[in-house]
Every structure is written in C-alpha cells, then in structure tokens.
Amino acid sequence: MSGNNSYPLLETIETPEQLRLLPTSDLPQLAAELRQFLIHSVATTGGHLSAGLGTVELTIALHYVYNTPEDRLIWDVGHQSYPHKILTGRRRLMSTLRQQGGLSGFPKRTESPYDSFGTGHSSTSISAALGMAVAARQEGCNRQVAAIIGDGAMTGGMAFEALNHAGHLKSNLLVILNDNEMSISPNVGGMHNYLAKILSGKLYSTMRDGSKNVLSIVPPMWELARKAEEHMKGMVVPGTLFEELGFNYIGPIDGHDLPTLITTMKNLRDRDEPQFLHIVTKKGKGFPPAEKNPTCYHGVTSFNPETGELCSSSTTPSYTELFGEWICDMAEQDERLIGITPAMCEGSGLVEFSRLFPQRYFDVGIAEQHAVTLAAGMACDGLKPVVAIYSTFLQRGYDQLIHDVALQNLPVLFAIDRAGLVGADGPTHAGSFDLSFLRCIPNLVIMAPADGNELRRMLYTGFLHNGPVAVRYPRGSGPDVAVEKEMKELVIGKGQVCREGRRVALLAFGSMVAPALQAAEELDATVVNMRFIKPLDEPLLIDMARHHDILITIEENAIAGGAGSAVNECLHKHAAGIPVINLGLPDRFVEHGRHEELLAQCGLDAKGIAKTVRNHLD
C-alpha cells in the first residue's frame, strides 16, 4: 500500500515534525491522501472506520499546531485515533492493526510516545488531560495539553466532573468537542468560522480582559457588561454551559475546514486558561457508504474499499443476535419488560427491540452508573428491567450494582455481552474479570451458557427470578445448535453432566464447555457443564470429587477470584481431599489478536486443556 506511490505527499510524512514543515497549501492534499489510505488500510484489516474518517483534518491541524509529542494529545474515545497513528510513524504498520503482535486499535502508551494516554473506555480524556496540565504547572513548563472528546463521550458524567474541576483550577487546557451529529449543522458556516477566529484571537481577549479591569471598579457596570457578552455569545453559539463551568467557549466551527482549524488552534494555544473548542465533523466523511450508514461502519470486518461491501461472516447466529431475539419474544409476553443500554444499541443487539417497543427502550448514553441505578428505580416500582451491557463497561457501574441493586435485592437482569476475551479489540474491551467481581456480591445469581439455546433458557430463568441475575456470554457465535423458541426455565444452581469418563472431571463454565468436550475425547474425561457460578451445584461437585482422581476447572475469566476459586472454596468447606487445577486467564492483560489465537496462548483451547491434564496426570 505504501510502495505504489499512490500517496506521494503522505509517504513523505513519518513524523509530525515533517508535517510541520509543509506549507499550509499542501495540507488539503495530505488530508485527501490520508483519508484514502485509511479506507484502504481498514478495508484489509477491519477495525473502526467512521470515526477516524471524521477526524482527518482535525488530526492534521493538531499535529501542525502543537509540538507533539512534547505537547500532549489525549484521544477520547480511542477509535478516533487511526489518522493520529498514521501520522506518528506507524503508517507502515497499519497492516498489522488489531492483529496479534501488531498495532493496537486504541492509543497505547507503550506503543508510541505520541500516545499520551491509553484509552478504550470513554469520557476519560478531560480528567487525564487536566492531570497532565497540573503536572506541567508543577514543573513550571509551558507544555500544552489538548483533550479530543467525541460527542458520545460527553454523555458520560466523568467528563463533566473533569470540566467542573478544570474550570475551578483555571488550568492551561484545551478541550475539543468533536461533534459529529447533524443536529447543529445549520449553525456551521462562514459566519461561525469568522466568529471563532475573532473570539479566539488576541484582540478580543485583550479587550475583554481590559474591559474587565476597568469595569470591575464599578461592579454593577461589570455585571451588566458580563451578562451582555454572555447573551450575545449565547445567541450565536451554544456555549453558555461551558462558560459557566469556567471555560472560554469557541465554536461550533467546521471540523473539516483546515485553515479555520489551524488559525483557531494557534490563537487558543497562546492563551493560558481553560479553552473549549466545539467542532462539527461528519462521521465517515469521504467514504459514501460510511457517510450514509456511519453506525454500520463504526467497527467493521474487512470490506471492499471500492463498494463498501462487507466480507461475509459466520452464518451461525451470534450470542448478541440471540439475545436480541429473546428480548423481543419476552417483551411480547410481559409488558413489564424494559430494555436499557448505555449507548450500545447495535452492539448489544437491541435494534429490533428499540423499533418494536420504543416506549420500553432506554438508551441512557455513555452513563453506565446511571443505567444500573435507573434499572433499580424501575424495579422498585414493579417493572422488570433488562440491562444489556458489555462486561468491560459493567465495571464502571460496579458501585451501583452492589449498592443500588444487590443490597436491595431488586429483580434486575444483567445481560452481559463480550464476556471473556474479545479478540482484536484487546484488553480495554475484554470481559476478563466479571466472574471475579460479581460472585462476591450477595443476592446475585450468576450464569454462563454453553451455547445459544442455553442462553435463551438462562435469560428466561433470570427474568423470572425475584432478585438480581447476571447472564454472561461471549462475543461471536457459540456451537451450532438448534435454538428452541419455547421459553424453558432452568433449575437455579443445577449443573449438567455432558460426558462420563474416568479419572479426570473437567468442570467447564460457559464458553469453555465446547473445548472441554473436545479435550475429553482424547483424555476419556468426564465433562460437566456447570451452568451456574453462583450458586454452585455443590452436590454435583462433591459427587465428582468422590469418583475422580483430579478435578480441572475451566473458565474464560481471570483465575484469581473466578469460578475455579468458587469450586476450591466449596471443596475446602466440605473437606474434599482431591487435587484441583484451575484453568483460566492468566494474571496479566491479554493483548489483542484473533480470539482462537488468544485462547491457545492461554491454554484454553482443546489442545491446551488436554496438555495441561496430561502433564498433571504424569
């Protein structure tokens, strides 16, 4: 891709220092080449596309104006950062994106000095940037700090906590709101770009500060002037909120207008106070399929860069799709069912539910804490909320899960997607810890399905239960089994013996049942689909201990504190003197790669399980 001279200007840029040597007249051509390179690169590797296409001009302007990496850029959320990676020495490595041993799909401090802060979850950039601005002040240096936050991330309360604190500290900080929604597009144009240049410039700043000094001698006159300025700006820009938080608000401006971006940023760079720059971009810009359907091209598999046609994927329904079917079926039967998601409608499989039951569907934005407590409030007054959430994002609502749901023993069903390793998205999105942090919570029932049919049964069982329930399931598809539409309830706390064998019993949880069955054929081992992490099937465990020489627990979760630990505690309580080996995710963050590669690396594929058992038997 880099050897055919299709990108004559881009190929001369290996570092931002080289970018800053270009005349501004060359930057539009660079933006065009960068956009085309990004499309063709992601078409091969897959990854996040729409967001990066919208930040091409912004990325160029930031590295053109700021002295990176000495000046700090913090991207929020990280999938905006592909153009940043390309311009900071990683263009030739983009073919390895999200592959084992290759580039991460998110900013990563160990990957490049230009990645000032690792991101994957949203709404963290302003807090991190403020911390860096405070550090610069403590060091007495003039290092600049900019946080680039996507509009979706502004729905997270953490962003406003940081804005409030930054305004109080009066730190030298620039916050850029990358707004790619269409609702305010009529406000973008020549007048607003002109006003942004004026309001960010030294003349306006000097006049404003000088007037403040003069009029402050007569307090009523200063207050009148302050209100007049606020109302004048409020008529042309939606920035009153940010002004009240202590920021100088500029915008909205066209985020694809390079001259305006560069002029405005240069003006803001020289002002030692909190600045808030509001830009408007088009998600998917420059690639018609992504412009038409930015959600579809938010995160993609490989695709045809000419037509946008996505490469075919598995025909077996994914766990996410099966959850989406179940919640629609269940909602038909029970009008109390409410669906809640923290900004993951498509990812959690709620698109059809939101269409069929719009009055019972709540997308709360990137606000996981609110999602959980909202569900708790609904459950208090007779509704049956189902919170569809990724495992990694549930971590952000942990206090609410304990304090607002479990402590009050409220009937909230948590449908926890992306449990275990998630492949190419890597450790920021892996659901490696949910069994460990869930099973210590009183009142909570925890289940893990071995296949799609069992998922439906567990969801139904959890929905009927009069207390909090978590059903955790992995990304992608499970074993290809027939899925029954009929709702069937499971007996809570009962496992299932799938295969009878000798000497060794493999106690498998959820996604590990399938590889355990494969390994058992070689080992002639017993396989138990445990189904429940809490409560455990204690009678079944004791029976396994009596009739086998060794027990092997297998889970796609951290070994520390996970399902295997629960088995250990149970056997210790019953004084069952039998060797137990716990298999699971190691005590480190597992990097990105194909899911099957990562499982093999952790010894959780059939071959790895069999090898571990043989070693212990020997």
Task: Give the dihedral of Cα atoms 269, 270, 274, 276; nearest 10 deg.
Answer: -40
Distances 285 to 67, 281, 594 between C-alpha atoms, Å:
27, 8, 29
- What are residue 250's DSSP bridge partners? 277
Distances 168 to 162, 163, 199, 311 between C-alpha atoms, Å:
10, 9, 21, 50
Amino acid at 83: P
Q: Is 283 a catalytic residue?
A: yes
Quick one: which of 281, 255, 267 has its CA closest to 193? 255
| Joined tokens for residue 293 | 């359907």
Q: Give the rounded distance of the alpha carbon of 142 from its chain centre.
A: 32
| Joined tokens for residue 462 | 């959890």
Strand intervals (E) in 112-266: 145-150, 174-179, 248-254
In the 8-state DSSP scheme, what is residue 496? E
DSSP count for the chain of H helices, then E strands: 25, 19
- Please pick, among 396, 456, 531, 534, the residue that the annotation labels catalytic: 396
- Tracing tokens 């086998």 back to the chain, one arrives at 548
- Please pick, among 85, 108, 283, 384, the residue that the annotation labels catalytic: 283
What is the SS3 assignment for 439? Answer: coil
- CA pair distance 605, 602, nearest whole angstrom: 8
By the 10 Å C-beta count (0-12 exposed, 13-18 middle, 19+ buried), 25 is classed as exposed
Instruction: Evaluate the omega torsion of the peptide bond into residue 274 and state whether it is cis, within 30 degrees of 0.
Output: no
Quick one: which of 123, 74, 58 has its CA closest to 265? 58
Q: Is 368 a catalytic residue?
A: yes
Q: Is 614 a catalytic residue?
A: no
- CA pair distance 415, 477, nearest whole angstrom: 16
What is the SS3 assignment for 447? Answer: strand
Q: Give the rounded distance of the alpha carbon of 103 from its chain centre.
A: 17
Amino acid at 431: G
What is the SS3 assignment for 155? Answer: helix
Instruction: Indicate which residues carry an active-site annotation.
Output: 283, 368, 396
